[in-house]
Structure 1
Amino acid sequence: MTPREIVIVGASVAGVAVADELRRLGYEGAVTLVGDEPHLPYDRPPLSKDLLTGRTGPDRILLREPGHYADRGIDLVLGVPAVGLRGTHVALSDGRVLAPGAVVIATGARARPLGEPRPTLVTLRGLDDGLHLRRRLADAPRLVIAGGGFIGAEVAASARALGVDVTLIEAAPLPFAHLLGGQVAAALLRPHRDAGVRVLTGAPVQRVDHVDGSERVHLPDGRVVHGDLVLAGIGSLPNTGWLDGSGLSIGDGVLCDATGATGVPGVYAVGDVAAWYEPEAGRHVRHEHWTGATEQARSVAARILGREPKAAPGAGVPYLWSDQYGSRIQALGRPEVADEIQVVRGSLEADSFAVLYGREGRLVGAAGRDAAAHVMRHRQAIATAEPMPLQPAAGA
């Protein structure tokens, strides 16, 4: 039976996408979108790029125009965190209890801290984080970034554009190597070094001390890196603390079946907080990518209304992108499981390139820099595990 009211907890891209999809599918019941931040729902990718450099402001990164929600009958409850869930009853921090027929959990993830937060030891996950980091960079000539993932790499590129001295510290031998392989990782690291970023690899941060107004980052080999500001980019943790006692299965996120349903009737989860079961992998996987969040949202909205989700060709194939130094990096599928790589566009020494990843002769992924057409054309082939090309077609 279609619920009379649906509450979405989390004003994230996934949460907003669920609300919009419910209305697109013709749902006429009450839709409430609850967010812990006071801001209108906003897009997070610009936080490490255009917002940080000042090329855009908070009003330019909204997910929807301010009137969008009222026009569609979507009630916004902002600046009021959810603090508990029992069945489909949602307790809010202001004492209210919402009792809808269905709940969608879309509370996202938070940055993994490196130590006790302070003004010069920061993370970047939300709008307030981004604005604080932008202000601090104006008078912090030395930035140390712990973690060479996409957030760390994007902030490094943005900070160099602002003329900030940047040291990027990565625990692994190469940033991105666990995702894209060593050859591609080396190619993606080259622009950072060319831009003057000091890159230290194989160097997990042991601790960060605040001494005489600056930060000291200690490495295992005894080296100490000095900075005016330290950004922790060492991964994320799903926002599941408010679900204690809910009866939901929690692992690395809210554990769901392959359609986003949890073990509690009427409760679903999407986006960065959700770990959906993936039959191909034989386990629950939590993806932290914009495109995946919106695809999950469409699927869950359809399921709540008792409809069969209609996936676009290639939907469900993991996709990520990152903008650095004016170039766009894109990756599809699961390159991390590959046992073969082929360069099919340019070369890894070039500004533009594309590669394919295979496992046991089947296509499992694609990646590239400034080669969107040569990456995205393989999405459907990755979804159906087509055979790897017999011969690379470099320059095609």
Structure 2
Amino acid sequence: MSEKLDAGATVVIVGAGLGGVRVAENLRTGGHQGPVVMIGAETHPPYDRPPLSKKVLTEPAGRPDLKPDEFYTDSSIELRTGEHVDAVDAAAKTVTVSRADGSTYEQPYDALVLATGLLPREFPGAEGVDGVYTLRTIDDAEKLRGAIGEHPDGAAVVIGAGFIGCETAASLHTLGMSVTLVEPAPTPLAQAVGTEIGGLVTRQHTDKGVTVRSGIGVDEIVTDGASVTGVRLSDGQTVPADLVVVGIGSTPVVGFLDGSGIELASREVGGGIACNEVGRASAEGVFAVGDVANWRDHGGTQVRAEHWNHTVEQAAIVAAALLGTDHAVVPAVPYFWSDQYDLKIQVLGWPKADDEVHVVSDDGNKWLAYFSRDGMLTAVAGAGKVGAVMKTRPKLLTPTPIADVLPD
């Protein structure tokens, strides 16, 4: 079913990040002539988030803007930064917006695209402690970069060895800090790619000199009353720290939807905004994209994915639905990557922690591995093996026996 926009229809996009920008761009290139209003809570123009834990820390060279400033003017996209959407009235088709000066206004819409992303979880009891950081925004990155400058040879503890935690640990080490990476799971990235690949990632960090403490939790962030001094682990050890970076996950930004009539997905399926297979939410004219969006996949399962490529694909599908144009909604092969030290780690496909893992190449630094389930190829992962990973995409689009890709 199409919700094709009238020529002069107003599209309001809540969230000025990758998903919001791509929807707006696709609407304009697709021929929509009506107003496109993008509202962002941050004061900065839209920027790319993946570099925040990498180049923004290690090679500060300005904000990684998604588009030049003139793009928004040239495309007739009204970008309102530093404004916060407090509520949505889906029945009246309006959003309530607050400005930095405390004033509010009502913005009507014909179509509403929600792209509000995530908020990082803070470590309980450490809110407001000097020297404890999360990393989600450019302001977070600049604060952390400043702290690194104050402790160039200091000690850092990174709590949580997901992708953000691993990337941040690599960046801190590259900048000369002594780094301890703490993860309650058996290995870094265990939830995403399993423990065997997690072991290869562990080796990558330990070979560089990072201390990896896996299979152990954090009981407390220790302070002197105002500033962090260390991290107490669940085994009783206290690791000294001049700064601590917390990477223990994020939660979808959906609080502003209370009372809106827009259905949310359950926590069991990842939370966020419940959508169908083209991003349409439960209320008329409302769509969601990106990290906050929980789309129904082609098997009928609700899935919320936090990957850059996934957001780009969703934005194209939502724009096509609004424009009433044909856009083949085909099963995409999930893809994500992580830059750590001098290697790009890539994962293509649908890996599960209990898949069988076949490491087919490993020289002690670069490696390549296939995943299988019930004898069928499910995913491929590699470090420093860009071509080998990407050429597997066609085999993941059709059922492929693992025997067909394993070396003789």
Further displaced range: 216-225 or 101-110: 216-225
Q: How does 1:21-36 map to 2 (within 5 A)?
A: 21-36=26-41
The equivalent of 2:121 in structure 1 is 112
C-alpha RMSD of the superposition: 1.7
Please tell me whether the aligned partners of residues 338 and 364 of structure 1 are also in contact (alpha carbons under 8 angstroms): no
Please tell me whether the aligned partners of residues 96 and 106 of structure 2 are also in contact (alpha carbons under 8 angstroms): yes
Question: Which runs of no fewer than 5 residues in structure 2 stay unpaired?
Answer: none
CA distance in 1, matches of 2:58, 2:84: 30
Cα deviation, residue 113, structure 1: 0.8
**2:296 equivalent among 255, 277, 280:** 277
- After superposition, the C-alpha distances for 1:184-240 in whole angstroms (9 at most, x for unaligned) are 111111121111111111112122132264333222221222211111101111111
**1:159 equivalent among 147, 151, 172:** 172
Cα deviation, residue 391, structure 1: 5.9
With over 3 angstroms needed to count, the CA separation of the structure-2 counterparts of 1:248 and 1:380, relative to structure 1, is farther
**1:243 equivalent among 257, 260, 263:** 257
**1:121 equivalent among 132, 154, 160:** 132
CA distance in 1, matches of 2:368, 2:128: 39
The equivalent of 2:382 in structure 1 is 368
The equivalent of 1:82 in structure 2 is 85
CA distance in 2, matches of 1:366, 1:167: 29
Question: Which runs of no fewer than 5 residues in structure 1 stay unpaired?
Answer: none
Please tell me whether the aligned partners of residues 343 and 392 of structure 1 are also in contact (alpha carbons under 8 angstroms): no
Q: How does 1:170-185 map to 2 (within 5 A)?
A: 170-185=183-198
The equivalent of 2:157 in structure 1 is 144
The equivalent of 1:379 in structure 2 is 393
Cα deviation, residue 361, structure 1: 2.2
Residue 73 in structure 1 maps to residue 87 in structure 2: no
The equivalent of 1:326 in structure 2 is 342
Q: How does 1:207-246 map to 2 (within 5 A)?
A: 207-211=220-224, 213-246=227-260
With over 3 angstroms needed to count, the CA separation of the structure-2 counterparts of 1:170 and 1:195, relative to structure 1, is same
Length-normalised TM-score, structure 2: 0.91
Residue 339 in structure 1 maps to residue 350 in structure 2: no
- After superposition, the C-alpha distances for 1:272-331 in whole angstroms (9 at most, x for unaligned) are 111111243x432111111100100000111112223235x8x62211100011110000
CA distance in 1, matches of 2:144, 2:186: 27
Please tell me whether the aligned partners of residues 335 and 348 of structure 2 are also in contact (alpha carbons under 8 angstroms): yes
Q: What's the secondary structure of 2:402's corresponding residue?
A: coil
Length-normalised TM-score, structure 1: 0.93
Please tell me whether the aligned partners of residues 354 and 371 of structure 1 are also in contact (alpha carbons under 8 angstroms): yes
Further displaced range: 282-291 or 37-46: 282-291
Further displaced range: 113-122 or 238-247: 113-122
Cα deviation, residue 381, structure 1: 2.3
CA distance in 2, matches of 1:364, 1:274: 24
Residue 258 in structure 1 maps to residue 277 in structure 2: yes
Residue 296 in structure 1 maps to residue 309 in structure 2: no
Please tell me whether the aligned partners of residues 132 and 228 of structure 2 are also in contact (alpha carbons under 8 angstroms): no
The equivalent of 1:96 in structure 2 is 105
CA distance in 2, matches of 1:97, 1:364: 48
Cα deviation, residue 13, structure 1: 0.4
Q: What's the secondary structure of 1:67's corresponding residue?
A: helix
Residue 353 in structure 1 maps to residue 367 in structure 2: yes
